[in-house]
Structure 1
Amino acid sequence: RGMGFRDSNQDILGFVHQIPDRARERLIDLASTQLEDGGCYHQYQPLTKKGNSDIGGDFSDDPLWMILSVGAYIKETGDWSILDEQVPYDNDASKAQPMLQHLDVSFYHIVNNLGPHGLPLAMRADWNDCINLSCYSDTPGESFQTYTNPKFAAEGGYSKVAESVMVATLFTYAGPTYVGILKHLGKDAEAEKAQAEIDKMKENVMKSAFDGDWFIRAYDAEGKKMGSKECEEGKIFIEPQGFAIMSEIGKDEGADVKTLEAIDKYLNTQYGLVLNNPAFTKYYIQYGEISTYPGGYKENAGIFTHNNAWIICAAAYAGRGDQAFKYYSEIAPAFNEEISDLHKTEPYVYGQMVAGKDASRFGEGKNSWLTGTAAWNMVAISQYIIGVQPDFDGLKVDPSIPHEWDGFKATRQFRGATYNITVQNPDHVCKGVKSLTVDGKAIDGNIIPAQADGVHEVVVVLG
């Protein structure tokens, strides 16, 4: 079956600090399966290191994850040479180009495939493989993953009307990493051009995809909203919300606060955040597989732990440390010991999902190990809540913690040096660095310049 292109890129976000050499190797293997237009095989075979042609490509989110993973590798290691590495397209050495060029085509693959509202085309699917806006299957047993309605097949394989708001917000979240790389390389004109595309996408999202209290999920192939107050069911979805908040889309208009409040009101449960609400109770041919599952299971209003992490990150980013840690605690295996008889799955590993509030066994875990949650929740707890985040220019420290915490201590190894970090919270705030010292010397801002070696004492005061 192969391994997921998007999944493997996201896994790197969580383990690059542990085995950077292996991460580098995996990044090159993944990029070697990319197509010249920036599209990607949805799966690759780790043994042959080739893309899986049985599944093919045209999953609209895939290219963006590589921008994030390559960026994470550079931020962690400071190894900019990976961008000069000659990497094939479609495993054809004669088509090899520098890794930077792979990032170029990844970014512009989104820009070059926009729909009527200036939002990315949904193509066969985005991160949610069960939202199939070009399928329209009315035959039982037909694969939603491989079947395309003949009408859309004739148009090139997918609808040129259906758009993904999730991919739009992922683009505005991942895009600044690409811009940062270009700026570091002195490619200012290219960086400015890319930033203009990000800014334009943010405008398009606010204009056409903000529903007043949250961001809609998509436009279907008929040009109708999915994940909107206007819908009969499935009025709000989790996937686009976190990336929109972290991209600061509509922040000046209070969109971030409204969205977080809507998430807490409509999606949160004692066992985690459901993927959508209300659950679908019948088959919607225009949406595909998502509406075939019973309410509360899998993608139909199940608690998909993978994308819970995006909301944890977003709440922390927005300064809501209490909300972020609450969501983290709801799904972290260590916090589920007391409900092990209900939860069922191993108490030391994340599962793909937990049965949602519409399910007969609300709170029961499903499909342990089969998830990208561990990597993303490592990012959530270490980089957004604890707030120790690698950056191109050093180590950023920006905690977002529960207000009752007095502080904490953490040790971080980074680019050959060790940092003993003490965070003090005398005013009991959730977020806001008042002062930062390294080895007794005050630092402007909250980014610690990378040190070559040694052990360094860092003191951060919140306030």
Structure 2
Amino acid sequence: MHPDRSGRRAGRGTAFFCEASVGAGEEERSNDSTDWTCDRSEFWDAQGRLVLPLQLGQRSGFGLDPCAALSRLVTLRPGASFARVYLLGYAATEAAARTLAQQAAGVAAAEREHATLAQWNALLGATQVRTPDPLLDVLVNRWLLYQTVSSRLYAKAGFYQAGGATGYRDQLQDAMALVWAQPGLLRSQIVLCASRQFEAGDVQHWWHAPGGAGVRTHFSDDLLWLPFACAHYLQHTADSELLGEQVPFLQGAEIPEGAEDVYETPHTSATTASIYEHAARAIDHSLNVGAHGLPLMGGGDWNDGMNRVGDGGQGESVWLGWFLCTITRAWIALARQQGDLARVQRWGDALAGWRAALATTAWDGDWYLRAFFDDGTPLGTHTRAEGRIDLIAQAWAVLSGEASQVRQHGAMLAVQTHLVDPGAGLIQLLEPPLVHAQPSAGYIQAYPPGVRENGGQYAHAGVWALMAAATLGVQDPRNAEAARVPYRYFTYLSPAHRAQHPVWGAQYGVEPYVMAADVYSQPPYVGRGGWSWYTGAAGWLHRAAVESILGLQMSAHELFVAPCMPHDWPSAEITLVRGPRTLRLLLVRVTSAMALYLLPPNAPAGARLLQAGEPLRWADLPGSACFVVPLYAPAMAPLASQDPRAPGAAPQPTPPRVDEAGSFSA
């Protein structure tokens, strides 16, 4: 192996790419033909065409177009075999990299492969589902969390975004999807993000490890994902010790007057504070409101492309109002527990003000506005020719629980009417796209109409629409159409369903097994997939399938099941694994009210009855437990007029059966 030949300095560490021999006698180097280079320019000719050089230049050092390339001349006789293992690695120093490479080379490749598979199986196997839809199952059971962990948390890159930076809001949301499978990962991400906060409460929008160079901005939502993720973690773990953990702040340059951001490598401050204080400062930093009583938009909220709505310091965000209400409700309770009564009062006053504004000036008559520009012009109103309605302002009116029931239903009816295209299987972020709108919302208008945030199906927001639809559907469990909508939206968002569709599949053009961040909505590219792999929608769609469609709601000690799945699904199953404990939840349709209180005759031995919505102390259960959750549906048969191949159609059900392991299946 040659870590010395292909090692490259990466920031403050050393990466290596080396060859590890396998098999008896493979250390013989008398005929070693290994060649190498660290200069990518050797693979391009003077005209910029890709070439394969006869010999590599064995160049290394600074000032190159960096790569790590190894080559070897191999001659194989008929029936012969030749094996080599290539290792990629990274360590803090060159000496440590050499040591790591030597240690890794001593591990058999098969042993390393088995260990890796075991690690993935443990992570991905923590939550398993079985439904009448095998495409949903394979995405939820394997691919969605694999995408989240491998692309978002490990690589921090994808084919269309090879950046490598940590996004403040991005990886916090990704880790939230792993709070059952790997809660320590979310805890670590919370602590890491607290360390990227300035003393004033604002944060780095993104940064590169290990040095920490990144950008400080006026985005108004980044910092708020810290208290949001903290509340999620505490609800699911009851690990209150997190709030007392001490973490330093950053110390860096202020954003110059009139500038959008500043890029630098800030220093670690001598000032430290608890995680509670870090999160509380994020809320404190977000309390200012504009003329309409709504939170300030800043240089953009969740939608980065709307960077001109509030860059003057007066623009307001309706979506941020819903988001802040959600966060502040949880943190008022935490502040009271901490004895922080001043913040209880301050946050309570702010919450009352946001609620009043959201109930009055934020309502446009049939749906909610998206924002107000600095000059008071509304965005997301029926009076505008472009950007008349925006998805996330409607979805979060439901998810926050702050809007009245009448307006929640009205807002989601407007989504279905104006933003959902059943023929193309799309849930648009806004409609119509922004092209000539004045005032300009920002760089979003530089995107072609229907691409990415400018009116495409932006999957992240589409998942929130699914979750909002399920929230409403649970409230009306006998409404067959309301119960079908979340699954229908899942098929619009799912890469597997889109790729196999007889019409959508030919248009889609990207991988069928990982989420794409966006799908184009306007001719001539309707249904074309945008960038794939690197999207936070993967973790959110996993949560939507488990929490919203199958209805699993968990806390640190209890759970309940409140599904919103199609009435023509005869059954579904959730299996939860943590350490030695396995919990199976069997969701079974019944057609009489009496059957709600009886175990089915083919229930697994030892199964117990659990009603929908009934709390279960899962933490007190023995190592293995099984519960049957009966779900009443007046009619199980699929709609007679619905073609099962139509967009959003549920798979045709078969009668439930019990397999050899005693598992319900469909």
Cα distance in structure 1, aligned partners of 2:178 and 2:627: 24
Structure 2 residue aligned with 1:178: 331
Match of 1:166 among 301, 305, 319: 319
Deviation per CA, 1:379-417: give whole Å up to 9, x if none.
111111111122255223221222222332111236874
Structure 1 residue aligned with 2:237: 77
Instruction: Name the CA shift for 1:131/1:177 in 2 (closer, same or farther; >3 Å).
Output: same
Q: Which amino acid aligns with 2:493?
A: I
Determine if contact 2:609/2:628 at 8 Å carries over to the other structure: no
Structure 1 residue aligned with 2:537: 373
Q: CA deviation at 1:61?
A: 0.8
Please report the TM-score for the alignment, with normalisation by the length of structure 2.
0.60
Match of 1:346 among 508, 511, 515: 511
Deviation per CA, 1:217-250: give whole Å up to 9, x if none.
1000110100101112110011211111122333
Structure 2 residue aligned with 1:141: none
Structure 1 residue aligned with 2:286: 110
Cα distance in structure 2, aligned partners of 1:292 and 1:103: 34
Q: CA deviation at 1:93?
A: 5.2
Cα distance in structure 2, aligned partners of 1:183 and 1:225: 37
SS across alignment from 1:56 = strand
Q: Which amino acid aligns with 1:65?
A: W
Deviation per CA, 1:154-179: give whole Å up to 9, x if none.
xxxx4232111111111123333334
Structure 1 residue aligned with 2:59: none
Q: CA deviation at 1:201?
A: 1.5
Cα distance in structure 2, aligned partners of 1:77 and 1:417: 16
Listed as ranges, the matches of 1:188-207 within 5 Å are: 194-195=347-348, 197-207=350-360
Listed as ranges, the matches of 1:17-32 within 5 Å are: 17-32=180-195
Match of 2:303 among 112, 128, 133: 128
Determine if contact 2:561/2:612 at 8 Å carries over to the other structure: no
List, as ranges, runs of 4+ consecutive aligned residues in structure 1 with deviation greater than 6 Å: 186-189, 434-439, 441-444
Cα distance in structure 2, aligned partners of 1:208 and 1:216: 9
Q: Does 1:217 align with 2:396?
A: no
Determine if contact 2:457/2:518 at 8 Å carries over to the other structure: yes
Q: CA deviation at 1:190?
A: 5.4
Structure 1 residue aligned with 2:61: none
Instruction: Name the CA shift for 1:190/1:456 in 2 (closer, same or farther; >3 Å).
Output: farther
Determine if contact 1:354/1:366 at 8 Å carries over to the other structure: yes
Q: CA deviation at 1:281?
A: 3.2
Please report the TM-score for the alignment, with normalisation by the length of structure 1.
0.85
Listed as ranges, the matches of 1:397-416 within 5 Å are: 397-413=561-577
Match of 1:291 among 423, 445, 451: 445
Determine if contact 1:436/1:443 at 8 Å carries over to the other structure: no
Q: CA deviation at 1:296?
A: 1.1
Cα distance in structure 2, aligned partners of 1:372 and 1:442: 33
For structure 2, list consecutive stretches of 5 or more residues without a partner in the other structure. Answer: 1-162, 251-266, 474-481, 600-605, 633-666
Determine if contact 1:435/1:460 at 8 Å carries over to the other structure: no
Deviation per CA, 1:255-299: give whole Å up to 9, x if none.
011111110110012322111111223254531112222211122
Cα distance in structure 1, aligned partners of 2:524 and 2:492: 19
Cα distance in structure 2, aligned partners of 1:184 and 1:5: 27
Determine if contact 2:237/2:555 at 8 Å carries over to the other structure: no
Q: Which amino acid aligns with 1:64?
A: L
Determine if contact 1:31/1:87 at 8 Å carries over to the other structure: yes
Aligned length: 431
Q: Which amino acid aligns with 2:413?
A: E
Structure 1 residue aligned with 2:465: 311
Match of 2:419 among 267, 274, 277: 267
For structure 1, list consecutive stretches of 5 or more residues without a partner in the other structure. Answer: 136-157
Cα distance in structure 2, aligned partners of 1:454 and 1:369: 36
Determine if contact 1:249/1:255 at 8 Å carries over to the other structure: no
Q: Looking at CA atoms only, which structure, 1 or 2, has the larger radius of gyration?
A: 2
Cα distance in structure 2, aligned partners of 1:444 and 1:314: 19
SS across alignment from 1:425 = strand
